[in-house]
Chains A and B, each alone.
Chain A
Amino acid sequence: QLQLQESGPGLVKPSETLSLTCTVSGGSISSNNYYWGWIRQPPGKGPEWIGSIYYSGSTYYNPSLKSRVTISVDTSKNQFSLKLSSVTAADTAVYYCARHPLGRTVYYFDYWGQGTLVTVSS
């Protein structure tokens, strides 16, 4: 059974960089058929896609966040990571990692991690 687990600091200061890692178990991140993505959900709101990466390193980013986002992959550790720079209180959210099939666009998300709450505050 595929499992994804987010890890990283739960509190980040304004203007600093948020860094999270997703560890995949029960399957290989190097699958030919799937991308691996980050999604966030502010309290009481709907989810927002941040970006996705293929095991080869190919990335897609949400244009609204692109200037501040970097997603990377480490196939040797079966992990992928998120960095979001210059954070503000508006970046406070539960951050999820998830998997989606490879397709014409960023498809639906069929496996999700449990999520980690990141609060931006001094």
Chain B
Amino acid sequence: DIVMTQSPDSLAVSLGERATINCKSSQSLFYSSNNENYLAWYQQKPGQPPELLIYWASTRESGVPDRFSGSGSGTDFTLTISSLQAEDVAVYYCQQYYTTPPSFGGGTKVEIK
């Protein structure tokens, strides 16, 4: 199974500042047949289910604000919140779907400094 490792475990960022979350996979998530990275990002607020933010490593889900962006390829990926808003306080998870079973990272908690 592919192991997903996120860093940091938590971070505190001032309102309007940039937040950067890292995700590393134990094997490459790049599929050369379609030139895609099989990596998704989710946001989970307390008491709510995870919400899909990004898939194919960098494609934003419909309705997701453009301050959220995904980047990276192979085994190293990043979720960036360009200007942190109060409503972005949450836990963020990465998920690989290169192989079955799909697997999630341990999560990164984002708070306001």
Interface set of A (CB-CB < 8 Å, partner B)? 45-49, 60, 62-64, 96, 98, 103-110, 112-115
Contact = CB atoms under 8 A, between A and B. Distances in A.
A96 B105 contact: no
Nearest to B41: A108
B77 interface: no
Given A46-B105, A46-B107, A48-B104, A105 B49 contact: no
Given A108-B55, A109-B40, 10 more contacts: A46-B107, A48-B104, A49-B102, A60-B100, A103-B97, A105-B38, A107-B38, A107-B102, A110-B52, A110-B55
Contacts, number: 57
Contact of A46 (B40, B48, B104): B104
Interface size class of B (residues with CB under 8 A): 20 to 34
A72 B104 CA distance: 24
B97 A108 contact: yes
Interface of B: 31, 38, 40, 42, 48-52, 55, 61, 93, 95, 97-107
Interface of chain A, main secondary structure:
loop
B48 A109 contact: no
Contact of B101 (A45, A62, A107, A112): A62
